[in-house]
Structure 1
Amino acid sequence: MDNLETPRLLLREMLPTDAPGILALDSDPEVLRYVPGQLLKTLEEAAGVIAYIRQQYAQNGIGRWAVVRRDTQEFIGWCGIKLVNDYHTNGRTNYYDIGYRLLRQHWGQGFASEAARASLAYAFDTLKLPEIHATARRENLASCRILERLGLRKETEFRQDDALWHWYTKANEALRL
Structure 2
Amino acid sequence: MNLILETERLLLRPFELSDAEDLFIMDNNPNVHKYLWQKPTQNIEESIEIIKYIQKQYTENKIGRYVTIEKETGKFIGWTGIKYINDHVENGNTNFYDYGYRLDERFWNKGYATEATFFWLDYGFNQMNIKEMNAYTHAENGASNRVLTKCGMQFVEDYPDKDGVTWKWWQMKKSVQ
Same fold judged by TM-score > 0.5? Answer: yes
Q: Determine the C-alpha separation between the residues in 1 that align with 2:94 and 2:26.
A: 26
- Gaps of at least 5 residues in structure 2 are none
> Contact (CA 8 Å) 2:65, 2:79: kept in 1 or not?
yes
Which residue of structure 2 lines up, in the alignment, with residue 104 of structure 1? 105
Which residue of structure 1 lines up, in the alignment, with residue 23 of structure 2? 22
Which residue of structure 2 lines up, in the alignment, with residue 44 of structure 1? 45
Which residue of structure 2 lines up, in the alignment, with residue 119 of structure 1? 120
Which residue of structure 1 lines up, in the alignment, with residue 165 of structure 2? 163
Q: Determine the C-alpha separation between the residues in 2 that align with 1:76 and 1:155.
A: 29
Cα displacement string for residues 157-176 of structure 1 (whole angstroms, at most 9, x for unaligned residues) = 10013211110000010xx2
Post-superposition shift, 1:60?
0.3
CA 1:37–1:48 in 2, change beyond 3 Å: closer, same or farther?
farther
Q: Determine the C-alpha separation between the residues in 2 that align with 1:162 and 1:34.
A: 14
Q: Determine the C-alpha separation between the residues in 2 that align with 1:138 and 1:3.
A: 32
- Gaps of at least 5 residues in structure 1 are none
Which residue of structure 2 lines up, in the alignment, with residue 138 of structure 1? 139
Q: Determine the C-alpha separation between the residues in 2 that align with 1:54 and 1:37.
A: 24
3-state SS of 2:20 partner: helix
- Structure-to-structure mapping, 1:58-69, within 5 angstroms: 58-69=59-70
Q: Determine the C-alpha separation between the residues in 1 that align with 2:119 and 2:17.
A: 23
Post-superposition shift, 1:37?
5.6
Kindly provide the amino acid, as one letter, of the partner of residue 107 in structure 1. W
Q: Determine the C-alpha separation between the residues in 2 that align with 1:37 and 1:123.
A: 29
Q: Determine the C-alpha separation between the residues in 2 that align with 1:140 and 1:123.
A: 24
Kindly provide the amino acid, as one letter, of the partner of residue 42 in structure 1. N
Post-superposition shift, 1:117?
1.2
After superposing on structure 2, the runs of 4+ consecutive aligned residues of structure 1 that deviate more than 3 Å are: none
3-state SS of 1:169 partner: strand
3-state SS of 1:76 partner: strand
Post-superposition shift, 1:119?
0.9
> Contact (CA 8 Å) 1:131, 1:172: kept in 2 or not?
yes
TM-score normalised by structure 1 residue count: 0.96
Post-superposition shift, 1:38?
2.2
Aligned residues: 175
Which residue of structure 2 lines up, in the alignment, with residue 76 of structure 1? 77
Cα displacement string for residues 106-144 of structure 1 (whole angstroms, at most 9, x for unaligned residues) = 000001111111111110110000010000111000000
> Contact (CA 8 Å) 1:11, 1:68: kept in 2 or not?
yes
